[in-house]
Amino acid sequence: MFDNLSDKLNSAFKKLKGRGTLTEKNVEEGLKQVRMALLEADVNYRVAKNVISDIKERALGQEVMKSLSPGQQVIKIVYDEFSRMMGSSHEALAVDGKPPSSVMLTGLQGSGKTTTAGKLALYLRKQGKKPYLVPVDVYRPAAIDQLKKIGNQLDLPVFPSTPDMKPVDICVQAQKAAADQGCDVLLIDTAGRLHIDEGLMAELGSIKKQINPAEILLVADAMTGQDAVNIAVSFDETVDLTGVVLTKMDGDARGGAALSIKAVTGKPLKFIGVGEKSTALEPFHPERMASRILGMGDTLSFIEKAQDAVDQDKAEELEKKLKKNQFTLEDFRDQMASVKKMGSIQDLMGMIPGVNKKQLKGMNIDEKEFVRIEAIINSMTPEERRNHGIIKSSRKKRIAEGSGLSVQDVNKLLKSYTQTMKMVKKFNKGGMRSLKGMLPF
């Protein structure tokens, strides 16, 4: 996300940070580069013009010109204005009213409404809610079956809609069914079209009037850039959106839609889709995203991902094992599984402040290595996992055959594990100076 924009902004700021004092000309030259970077990122022209005007007004004020580090002050102002442009702070879903609350998911075909319904349901369940999926797209072939399949995979209840039912009737009946089953949030997957038409909007208006939803979200494809913003404007005029979900953000290196949508529509960007996995939906935090765009990392999101992935009781048990040097290959495998839950290693490293993005691009992180590690450890006997010292030539050969890999792969894992244990011992003695060798890739 935003890789191209981040690179161009860093180039613009490099000159500003290197100056002991700034003149109006220096600031104007730097902001000209920032403006071009925003336009190349497909940010709405008027939004880019306004934000640059606001940054310039503040950057030429006393807080910068009399600062000990004016370049850093300008970057702080850019951070503030980018955050404000995207909404300043995260706006949560308003689903805490009298249950069951309803959330309407709207949008065009192909935007990812149905998969987003499943992801959002999973997210709400983690927040302690009991979501109920409601398929309302009676026109698209297999749309109802798709949502039912997602519900089965995620163990979520789905209203048994059929193609011969009317969308409004489905919603009314689903409200009653949700209440009967003790569910407190309806996620209504409405029908989409290939383009905006009167029939689509009339149907959405009827559903809204009948069920009075707490939230009406537009699901749009981030990779369509300003088209996504224009679609949001059209839907908002008809159904009065309460927020937007941008899908496929992981494939959008420019980010124009995310940067523009709040400023153009006045509606908050509430979630972003960052992958195909059912967990790949993140609440959108403008201030955190501004920090990532400017190369400052995103420590809070990193911590939240870690907290979601790690069981606190297991973490405490692991800490005790590490202190006693009892960290086995089974524990090694379990930690790999926890890291996998957090998402892409490259994305995670991008959240860490100070990580050089150019160096990160050059890193060859083979995430399939996790799969190979798991296969090797799973091919060991319980005794071998708990006591790696007994794994000699014949055992290595059997483990390699069982995992479908080579003896060299088994040796590589064992070497990585023993290096890790050496570092743990040094850490326990208070002498650990380096983390090199702690990761098995």
Give the tens place of pLDDT for each residue, 104-156.
999 998 899 999 999 999 999 999 999 999 999 998 878 899 999 999 999 99
Q: Per the structure block, which two tokens stand in for 235? A: 């839907």
CATH 1.20.120.140 domain locations along the chain: 3-85
pLDDT at 154: 93
Q: Per the structure block, which two tokens stand in for 33? A: 């580069």
Give yes or no for residue 298 having a pLDDT over 50: no
Give yes or no for residue 387 having a pLDDT over 80: yes
pLDDT at 58: 86
Nearest C-alpha neighbor of 354 from the set 285, 299, 287, 284:
299
Q: What is the CATH number of domain 302-428?
A: 1.10.260.30
Mean pLDDT of the 299-326 span: 58
Mean pLDDT of the 220-249 span: 91
Mean pLDDT of the 321-341 span: 70
Q: d(Cα 170, Cα 159) in Å, to the nearest integer?
A: 8
Q: Per the structure block, which two tokens stand in for 145? A: 């079956």
Q: Per the structure block, which two tokens stand in for 232? A: 């949001």
**What count of other Cβ atoms lies within 10 Å of the Cβ of residue 336?**
17
CATH 3.40.50.300 domain locations along the chain: 101-294
pLDDT at 74: 82
Protein fold of 3-85: Four Helix Bundle (Hemerythrin (Met), subunit A) (1.20.120)
Q: Residue 328: which pLDDT band, with cuts at 50, 70 and 90?
A: confident
Q: Residue 297: which pLDDT band, with cuts at 50, 70 and 90?
A: low
CATH 1.10.260.30 domain locations along the chain: 302-428
Q: Burial code of 42-59, b = ≥16 C-beta within 10 A, e = fewer?
A: bbbeebbeebbeebbebb
Q: d(Cα 73, Cα 65) in Å, to the nearest integer?
A: 9
User: Do the beta carbons of residue 332 and residue 417 sit within 8 Å?
Assistant: yes
Q: What is the CATH number of domain 101-294?
A: 3.40.50.300
pLDDT at 441: 36
pLDDT at 10: 83
Provide the β-strand partners of residue 102.
186
Among 8-17, 291-300, 343-352, the range of highest mean pLDDT: 8-17
Which stretch of 237-241, 264-268, 354-358, 374-378 has the lowest confidence by average pLDDT? 354-358
pLDDT at 14: 80
Nearest C-alpha neighbor of 187 from the set 170, 162, 166, 164:
170
Q: d(Cα 210, Cα 343) in Å, to the nearest integer?
A: 40
More confident residue, 417 or 313: 417
Nearest C-alpha neighbor of 143 from the set 115, 123, 168, 175:
115
Among residues of the chain, what percentage have pLDDT more than 70? 78
More confident residue, 327 or 12: 12
Which stretch of 254-263, 299-308, 373-382 has the lowest confidence by average pLDDT? 299-308
| pTM of the predicted structure, to 2 decimals | 0.69
pLDDT at 318: 60
The dihedral built from the CA positions of residue 383, 384, 389 and 391, taken in this order, carries a sign that is positive
427: buried, middle or exposed (CB in 10 Å: 19+, 13-18, 0-12)? middle
